[in-house]
């Protein structure tokens, strides 16, 4: 006989499932998608109206609603986004006047520059770390560090604008897939936020700490200027940055509020393969507390971001029809909203 007492369940009060509040019903289930018979809109419609799929639909609607109200849609990103080939998708959203600002860590800018200039990036770290060759690509360090140093002494441009101009002046062979050059050409702020000592160009003899710090600081102020306009309807997406961009965003947000801008009522979303503390706190939870909505999506970037981009364009198309010809256009390198 057991020495431990067990609770007596005989007096438990049960309820009828008929009157119980339930979150899922068959009408919310996913539907079978037949590629040969249905369009992409059919595929989107086939997704379950439950949990992450439901949240993704809501986020897409928030993004489209933000642009119809001429509110910002800011993308923050880490380097992995470029390494897995997503630059063309973000560039497309910039060209369509959906993304209004991009902020990245400096590793992302390195991948962007290497791809634009030499058509390759993402070296084999495991092989090159063994003998001290890792991160010592001379062309990469010379191009970026020289551009930053020159801009430090001769202009008031920030990190992102400086590299974009340098790529354009160098007639980068692959500029069409450069986020930096495309943002610059479409008058979209692209900012780079460096943490000195974290990137390969910081270990090379051309590194100028003063220039790197100052131009990154200029970009922080440019980024904060974008954040101040999020009030009542803007959207911030953090894609693949676990530390740098969530920290930068939280500081830019508090700067905007401290300066008297009532930055409330916006939407944030974090996309990453794993859930991390800082994105959850500094992107999803804290900035949207009291007024706003935060989403968190776990999944591979190379799957989630193409899906998100396609759903945004589909929703924009549907919204245009509903609004009798509403469309977003770019005229003379300035973002405008046109109502037909």
- Cα–Cα distance, 4 to 61 (Å, whole number): 55
pLDDT of the residue at 324: 59
User: CB count, 10 Å around CB of 230?
Assistant: 26
CB 124 within 8 A of CB 244: no
| Chain-centre distance for alpha carbon 50 | 23
Q: Domains (ranges, CATH) in the chain?
A: 71-305 (3.40.910.10)
User: If you compute the radius of gyration of the chain from its CA atoms, what whole number of angstroms results?
Assistant: 23
SS3 141: helix
pLDDT of the residue at 6: 73
The DSSP secondary-structure symbol of 23 reads S
The DSSP secondary-structure symbol of 26 reads G
Instruction: Give long-range contacts, CB 8 A cutoff, 24+ apart: 22-29.
Output: 23/50, 24/50, 28/54
CB 328 within 8 A of CB 67: yes
- Among 283, 300, 301, which residue's Cα sits nearest to residue 292? 283
Q: Which helix (H) or strand (E) holds 3?
A: none
| pLDDT by residue, tens only, the chain of 340 residues | 778 887 887 887 876 868 867 666 667 766 767 776 678 888 999 899 999 999 999 999 999 999 999 999 999 999 999 989 899 999 999 999 999 999 999 999 998 999 999 887 876 666 666 666 666 778 888 999 999 999 999 999 999 999 999 999 999 999 999 999 999 999 999 999 999 988 888 888 899 999 999 999 999 999 999 999 999 999 999 999 999 999 999 999 999 999 999 999 999 999 999 999 999 999 999 999 989 999 999 999 999 999 999 999 999 988 777 765 445 545 434 433 333 2
CA triplet 155, 171, 77: central angle to 5 degrees? 70
pLDDT of the residue at 333: 41
| Chain-centre distance for alpha carbon 22 | 34
| Chain-centre distance for alpha carbon 45 | 24
CA triplet 234, 240, 246: central angle to 5 degrees? 55
CB 281 within 8 A of CB 297: no
SS3 45: helix
CB 83 within 8 A of CB 142: no
Burial class (CB in 10 A: 0-12, 13-18, 19+), 16: exposed
Instruction: Give the C-alpha distances (Å, rounded to integers) separating 225 from 158, 162, 230, 257.
Output: 13, 18, 10, 11
- Buried-exposed string 186-211: b where 16+ CB fall within 10 A, e elsewhere: bebbbbbbbbeeebbbbebeebbeeb
pLDDT of the residue at 312: 95
* Dihedral sign from CA coordinates of 256, 257, 260, 264: positive
pLDDT of the residue at 137: 76
User: CB count, 10 Å around CB of 8?
Assistant: 7
């Amino acid at each position: 006989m057991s020495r431990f007492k067990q609770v007596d369940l005989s007096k438990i009060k049960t309820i009828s499932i008929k009157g119980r509040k339930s979150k899922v019903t068959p009408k919310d289930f996913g539907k079978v998608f037949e590629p040969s018979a249905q369009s992409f809109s059919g595929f989107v419609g086939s997704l379950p109206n439950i949990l992450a799929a439901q949240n993704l639909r809501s986020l897409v609607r928030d993004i489209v609603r933000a642009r119809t109200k001429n509110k910002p849609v800011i993308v923050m990103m880490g380097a992995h986004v470029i390494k897995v080939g997503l630059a063309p998708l973000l560039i497309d959203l910039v060209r369509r006047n959906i993304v209004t600002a991009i902020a990245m860590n400096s590793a992302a800018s390195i991948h962007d520059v290497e791809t634009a200039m030499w058509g390759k990036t993402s070296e084999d770290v495991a092989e090159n770390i063994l003998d001290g060759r890792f991160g010592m690509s001379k062309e990469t360090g010379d191009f970026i560090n020289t551009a930053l140093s020159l801009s430090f002494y001769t202009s008031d441009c920030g990190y992102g604008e400086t590299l974009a101009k340098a790529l354009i002046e160098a007639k980068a062979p692959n500029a069409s897939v450069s986020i930096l050059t495309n943002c610059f050409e479409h008058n979209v702020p692209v900012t780079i936020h460096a943490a000195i000592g974290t990137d390969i160009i910081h270990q090379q003899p051309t590194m100028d700490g003063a220039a790197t710090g100052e131009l990154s600081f200029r970009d922080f102020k440019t980024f904060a200027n974008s954040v101040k306009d999020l009030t009542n309807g803007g959207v911030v997406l953090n894609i693949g940055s676990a530390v740098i961009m969530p920290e930068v965003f939280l500081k830019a947000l508090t700067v905007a509020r401290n300066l008297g801008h009532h930055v409330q009522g916006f939407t944030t979303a974090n996309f990453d393969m794993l859930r991390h503390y800082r994105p959850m706190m500094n992107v999803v939870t804290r900035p949207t507390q009291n007024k706003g909505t935060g989403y968190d999506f776990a999944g591979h970037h190379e799957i989630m971001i193409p899906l998100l981009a396609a759903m945004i364009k589909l929703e924009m198309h549907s919204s245009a029809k509903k609004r009798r010809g509403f469309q977003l256009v770019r005229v003379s390198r300035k973002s405008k909203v046109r109502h037909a």
